[in-house]
Amino acid sequence: MYPIILLSFLGIVVLFLGFAKSKAILLPATLLFLAVALVGNFVEWNQGTIIYFYNMLAVNNLTLAFNGIVLVSAFMIVAMTRGFQDDDEAQPAEYYAIMLFSLVGAFMMIGFENLIMLFLGLEILSVAMYVLTGSDKRNLRSNEAALKYFLMGAFATGILLFGIALLYGATGSFTLTGIQAYIGQGNPSYLLYGGLLLVLIGMLFKVSAAPFHFWTPDVYEGAPTIFTAFMATIVKTAGFAALFRLLSHSFTGIYDYWWITLAVITVLTLLVGNIIAVYQDSFKRMLAYSSISHAGYLLIALTAMTPQTENSILFYSMAYSVATICAFGVLIPLAREKAMTGKPRETYEAFNGLARNNPLLAFVLTVSMLSLAGIPLTAGFWGKFFVFGSAAERGIIWLLVVAILMSAVGIYYYFRVIMAAYMKEGDTAEIRVAPFYKIVLVTATIITLLFGIAPGLFTGLV
């Protein structure tokens, strides 16, 4: 609860810091504020479940851990945003402030106890993302991405709201416990089923699960890369935390009704994400499809809904976020360098011969690709392991078969990048990266490897 209040307030402070003469203070200030929020987040660690604001928000170790993932991801991404200050048009204070505000939305989604909070959190996060997507004002691709994201996002919000209204009509309550109690009485109204379906569709839109994924590649490609990283990690983590909370706290009573729907969507998402990713030439677009496929893996855990699910979603989000930040973190300086020489910027060819002059970047990229592909000794492997384990526990073997086949497909397109970096001939000059940037990339890589070797360090925490 503290990070919500802290970041709401500190976001306004960042906004007003923008009026200072020197813009140099903004980045350290934002990082400091994020660190403060991180400390504030863990003040309530190990105090059991605390309910705030008349049953609006709940705080427990799980939500705090999700908040932690979101905050650390945001910290890394903000640390990478050095480029803002070069541009006259850019408004760094506003971007930092919007990022901080969007985190507030993410926290509300993670800890909601009342559907009003789910809606508000989702909107705070989404509206902030629409602005950030379109922040490259002169670039038509960024404009287009923003409009697409906005129209699709608002559409999804409408569907979600209608679902919430129907749920309220059936149960007479917006709280998770109220809905659960209603289902516990037995013989639920048809409004409840319709409402649940619409709420699921709205949420799956936001986490870009197939067949509601079609906006994702365009938006991810058009948005400035740094904000694509923000979207791919924080929006997805918060979205899955919210979906998990909704399904596990309210709808376990009618599991038989929704699990098959979710299973079909999971299979579709896995197929679409992985198979289309194979045919991409653009690295950024491939990462967009890869994010769809990772949504599929996370959905497996949701479909299974065993006691292990919360830990597997938590671990998977962490592994996926860190690896994705590394991938985008390598792409940003590389694309900037390529743009200066007028070469293709975001295709696989851009990575040709990266290893010769930039061994560090190539190594970071390799680890992140291995982690996304789920190769042992990286965090991504254990993420997949836990997720598949929860499906096996529930006994949904056919889902497991599809998932394992699709992760084999995934290895193909992730290794294409590694092959380009190490095997192909290319002439990428040495890329100068700020020391701070380097520290972030190396830390993220160490996290990936550390939890890859000893996942117990992380799972033991929660």
Partner 1 sequence: MNTNYLPSGFLPIVVQFVLALGFIVVTMIVTHNIGPSRKGKVKDDPFECGIEVVGDARTPISVKYFLVAILFVLFDVEVIFMYPWAVNFKKLGMFGFVEMVLFMSLLLAGFYYIIRKGVLKWEE
Partner 2 sequence: MQEPSIPDIIQLIPLKSYLILSTALFVIGILGVLIRRNAIVIFMSVELMLNSVNLLLIAFSSYKSDPSAQVFVFFIMAVAAAEVAVGLAIIVMIYRNTRTIDIGFLNKLKG
Considering only 4, 6, 7, 19, the residue that binds partner 1 (CB under 8 A) is 19
**Cα distance from N-terminal residue to C-terminal residue, the chain:** 18
Contact status: 101 vs partner 2 (CB under 8 A):
no
Q: Where are the alpha helices (DSSP H) in 344-432?
A: 354-357, 359-373, 379-394, 397-422
Closer to partner 1 by CB, 12 or 429: give it: 12
Contact status: 16 vs partner 1 (CB under 8 A):
yes
CA angle 69, 116, 313 (to 5 degrees): 30
Task: Report in angstroms how near the CB of residue 358 gets to partner 1 at its nearest.
Answer: 41
Choose one: 15-23, 117-125, 157-165, 449-457; the region binding partner 1 (CB under 8 A). 15-23
Contact status: 134 vs partner 2 (CB under 8 A):
yes
Closer to partner 2 by CB, 168 or 436: give it: 168
Residue 24 to residue 51: CA distance in whole angstroms:
39
Contact status: 165 vs partner 1 (CB under 8 A):
no
Residue 2 to residue 445: CA distance in whole angstroms:
29
Q: Are 381 and 454 in contact (CB under 8 A)?
A: no
CA angle 23, 29, 35 (to 5 degrees): 155
Contact status: 12 vs partner 1 (CB under 8 A):
yes
| Token couple for 325 | 């930040």
Select from partner 2, partner 1, none the partner in contact with residue 174, using the beta carbon and a kind-dependent cut-off of 5 to 8 Å. partner 2
Considering only 246, 276, 361, 370, the residue that binds partner 2 (CB under 8 A) is 276
| DSSP sequence for 209-228 | -TTS-THHHHHHHHS-HHHH
Select from partner 1, partner 2, none the partner in contact with residue 52, using the beta carbon and a kind-dependent cut-off of 5 to 8 Å. none
- For tokens 């070469």, name the residue: 343
CA 402 to chain centre: 23
Q: Are 361 and 376 in contact (CB under 8 A)?
A: no
Considering only 138, 186, 307, 425, the residue that binds partner 2 (CB under 8 A) is 138
Residues that bind partner 2 (CB under 8 A): 115-116, 119-120, 123, 127, 130-131, 134, 137-138, 140-141, 143-148, 150-151, 154-155, 157-159, 161-162, 164-166, 168-169, 172-174, 217-218, 221-222, 276, 279-280, 282, 285
Q: Interface with partner 1 by CB under 8 A: which residues?
A: 12, 15-16, 19
